Amino acid sequence: MAPGHLGVRARRMNSGWHMVTLLIAALVALPILVPFLSWLHPEGEVWRHLAHTVLGELVRNTLVLTAGVGVGVLVLGAGLAWLTAMCEFPGRRMFEWALMLPLAVPTYVLAFVAIGLLDFSGPLQTALRTVFGADLRLPAIRSTGGIIVVMVLALYPYVYMLARAAFLSQGRTLLECGRMLGLTPWQAFLRVALPTARPALAAGVALALMETLADFGAVYIFNYDTFTTAIYKAWFGLFSIDAAAQLSTLLLLFVAFAFYLEHHFRGAARFHSGGKLAHERRFRLTGARAWGATAAAGVVLSAAFLVPLAQLLVWAADTALSGLDTRYIEFTLHTLALGAFAALITVSAALLLSAARRGSRDNLTHALIRLATLGYALPGTVLAVGIMLVLTWLDRGIDTFSETWLGTPAGFALAGSLTALLFAYLVRFLAVAHGPVESGLERITPSITQAARSLGAGQREILWRVYLPMLRPGLLSATLLVFVEVMKEMPATLLLRPFGWDTLAIRIFEMTSEGEWQRAALPALVLILVGLIPVRLLMRSTSTQA
């Protein structure tokens, strides 16, 4: 083939990838940008009401919660990561993977278990009053400190997972150099190990902060007003989707600030191996220090996973007969169906984006892909508001067109349909699917692609006959991750679901909003057990320990 024809073919190929990435990026960007248009028609009366009642409290609560969770997950995650990566103590081999199990517990599940167990009328305080007298009172769990502790226990694995991998890759040489310069072990940890692991720590804290800002279920259960609960109340309490959209834009400012902090603290640091890997020669703790490390890891694991799981099992056993009815079967089938369809759509879009990145190396395509994968950083409430505005506008346009040219309304609505819900899942979890697919593509060497092209295969044939068979592990991981994330997603499902399409997460929300902790245990157990699947995948991907 002549060089000129090759150039035309390459330009057409790049143009095709540009169209694919532009379309997906536009779909993702619409729900993000549309809420800002709501400021063209500000809800003056609603904002005056918010300003005189809860606006200051919303800002204060959001700032306090994010700051408290950020500090908590950093201290807990980094400390546990250092213990399991760099120290030898009784039970280390078990704790190094078990400390990731709380990732399978949704924050709202841990929240209602904590309240049900630790509230004044709960079983723990009731038992303690029986033993120590009626005047005994533990600190109130329904407090700012209570919600911070619960969210730290639920989210610290993000920091633990990334920090542990960073500590394992550092090598003992760096620490030994610090010791030779006169640093104590504690000083070497603070002045050598932590700064070297700064990119991993910043990324882990950023993930935890994104989840904190996006959380709706836990703060709603604790009756702790943040922007996510305010958006829900403005939509369903004040019946003003414009006010909800305007509140969403303020929440986006917090998200943007979290992005800035992550970029600032990450800096230009990079990981480098410094001699022998750290796990080849761990610090052997003895005596009280060894058992203290075991106790610390055991307390965290018990509080974040073992005790909540045991309490759920007790509640589920008490209510199993009354909870297993035909509606529960519908909740489970709806949850599984939404997870399966969303995983199929999202992984397909992620595969297209990854193929576009591989087929076109220009900056425009890369920028569009980065834009398309921003949805995971956005709270489900924000996405729900943006999607509802987009689809409502589209429904009006379709009805206007149908009445003008056909003389009758179209007779269907995208807003409030499964289309809206699946659209939200696509935007929210595209980044979750893109990571494993992109990692799988990186393992396919350019020589394989060049060999296929030399045999006359086009880009589409390369995708179906070369990429897909080699991408099966990455596609399976992406599918499972999206499937479980969709099962646990509460705010977007709550705001956008069609009438009658309740899921396990919605069932938990309904029961906990009425204080029915025991009846919420059965669907919560199902979510946790299914959530163990991606946690197991993460364990395998980070199993670099000795």
Which of 304, 329, 321, 319 is CA-nearest to residue 521? 319
CA atoms within 13 A on the CB side of 282: 21
What was the pLDDT predicted at 198? Answer: 77
What was the pLDDT predicted at 2? Answer: 47
CA–CA gap between residue 384 and residue 427 (Å, rounded) = 10
pLDDT tens digit sequence for 488-504: 888 889 888 888 788 98
- Give the SS3 label for residue 232: helix
* CA end-to-end distance (rounded Å), the chain: 53
Burial of 434 by CB count in 10 Å (0-12 exposed, 13-18 middle, 19+ buried)?
Answer: buried
Strand blocks (E) in 335-424: none
For residue 290, count other CB atoms closer than 10 A to its CB.
17
Contact 421, 498 (CB under 8 A): yes
CA atoms within 13 A on the CB side of 76: 29
Question: Which residues make up the CATH 1.10.3720.10 domain(s) of the chain?
Answer: 54-102+144-318, 337-501
Amino acid at 253: L
Helices 107-118 and 521-541 pack at an angle, to 10 degrees, of: 130
Contacts of 456 (CB under 8 A, 6+ apart): none
What was the pLDDT predicted at 359? Answer: 65
Which region, left, alpha or beta, applies to residue 275 given φ > 0 means left and ψ of -120 to 50 means alpha? left
What was the pLDDT predicted at 271? Answer: 45
CA–CA gap between residue 344 and residue 426 (Å, rounded) = 10
What fold characterizes domain 337-501? MetI-like fold (1.10.3720)
CA–CA gap between residue 111 and residue 182 (Å, rounded) = 45
Contacts of 264 (CB under 8 A, 6+ apart): none
CA atoms within 13 A on the CB side of 119: 13
What was the pLDDT predicted at 173? Answer: 58
Tokens at residue 256, please? Answer: 């943007």
What was the pLDDT predicted at 69? Answer: 95
Taking domain 54-102+144-318, whether its CATH number is 3.30.530.20 is answered by: no
Helices 3-37 and 380-405 pack at an angle, to 10 degrees, of: 100
Helix, strand, coil % over all residues of the chain, rounded to 5: 80, 0, 20
Contacts of 372 (CB under 8 A, 6+ apart): 21, 24, 25, 27, 28, 353, 430, 434
Residues of the chain with pLDDT under 50: 1-10, 269-279, 544-546
Tokens at residue 21, please? Answer: 């990435």
CA–CA gap between residue 7 and residue 35 (Å, rounded) = 42
Amino acid at 245: A
